[in-house]
Amino acid sequence: MKVKFWGVRGSIPCPGRKTVKYGGNTSCLEVIIDDARREIIVDAGSGIRELGIDLLNRNPSRSSIQADLLITHTHLDHILGLPFFAPIYLKKTRLRIMGPLTYEDESLESAVTGQFSYRYFPVRLSELASEMEFVALKEERLDLGDGIGLSTKYLNHPVLCLGYRLEYGNKVCCTVYDTEPFQNLFCTDPGDPSFDEAMALEGGEAAREANQRVEEFLAGADLLIYDAQYTRGEYAASRVGWGHTAIEEAYAVAGRNGVKRLALFHHDPLRTDGEIDALAEKLAAGAGPDMPEVFFAREGMEVEL
């Protein structure tokens, strides 16, 4: 199993001279399983455009391109690249798009393909040559065939979002983004008129159980790709409830759950290359002997499992 990063930013594409090293494209991963000849893509952020060009270069005869596209959730930065994914304009392309049911009564298909409207884009869905199948996912375990297992886990984000655990042979790649630790939603201040002790205790226990289930989901991964948009200070100051995790929290979770390698992902669009380098040095300086290998994901980086 090999993982390649095609987009590592969160929220919005941010190309420019200050983001050259780590990249400015939004979320897109490629998971290649050579033995099974399978192509799996996680998210269709702006990084999927370059992936599409690369796939065509690998198939100069324009022979069939088949892939599974796993959508973590339907926020724009995770789907906006799909109209620019060149293989969808080829007749022999077969794309199975899988992801969570999104919002109210809207289907995964309508949320993702709503971009293919003259209101937003010059090509309509009916004009695409490729064949696209949509599969709505919930928390479940699936057999993708060829010995590939897929497990899903609901995460903590302002819209329904799934983490993915891909298993092949004895290797595991796990994605946990966009998410933040579950919090007690009830008042915990005894001096507040709205305080209810029973509700506060129940809310605290519910948050602990939800966080434990996420940790069990990612435990033992050979590669864990984890949301790390903020520092602990940034998160505590004004980002609680935004659906993203502090770098220090991601590292701690990986460390106590036997993760072998941790890729910090979904970099804040305001974070410059120099700032990420400084954070990497700080993290390395505080690393303990029992902690996983950790790095900040970069566009173009490949990881062999």
Tens-digit pLDDT profile for residues 118-130: 999 999 999 999 9
The answer, yes or no, to whether residue 60 has pLDDT greater than 80, is no
3-state secondary structure string, the chain?
A: CEEEEEECECCCCCCCCCCCCCCCCECEEEEEECCCCEEEEECCCCCHHHHHHHHHHHCCCCCCCEEEEECCCCCHHHCCCHHHCHHHHCCCCEEEEEEECCECCECHHHHHHCCCCCCCCCCCHHHCCCEEEEEEECCCEEEEECCEEEEEEECCCCCCCEEEEEEECCEEEEEECCCCCCCCCCCCCCCCCCCCHHHHHHHHHHHHHHHHHHHHHHCCCCEEEEECCECHHHHHHHHCCCCCCEHHHHHHHHHCCCCCEEEEECECCCCCHHHHHHHHHHHHHCCCCCCCEEEECCCCCEEEC
Lowest mean pLDDT among 76-85, 86-95, 186-195: 186-195
The chain-wide mean pLDDT, for the chain, equals 93
Q: With contact defined as beta carbons under 8 Å apart, do 185 and 205 qualify?
A: no
pLDDT of residue 255: 95
Distance CA 3, CA 154 (A): 22
The conformational region for residue 263 under phi > 0 = left, psi -120 to 50 = alpha, else beta, is: beta
Give the model confidence (pLDDT) of 179-192 as tens digits.
999 988 888 888 88
pLDDT computed for residue 200 by the predictor = 80
pLDDT tens for 234-268 read 999 999 999 999 999 999 999 999 999 999 999 99
Q: For residue 284, what pLDDT band results from cuts at 50, 70 and 90? A: confident
Quote the pLDDT of residue 102: 64
- Residue 191 has what pLDDT? 87
Inform me whether the pLDDT recorded for 285 exceeds 90: no
Percent of the chain with pLDDT over 90: 80
pLDDT in tens, 11-25: 999 999 999 999 999
Compute the average pLDDT of residues 69-92: 96
- pLDDT (0 to 100) of residue 175: 98
Spatial CA neighbour of 112 closest among 129, 127, 96: 96
Residue 202: the pLDDT is: 85
pTM score above 0.85: yes
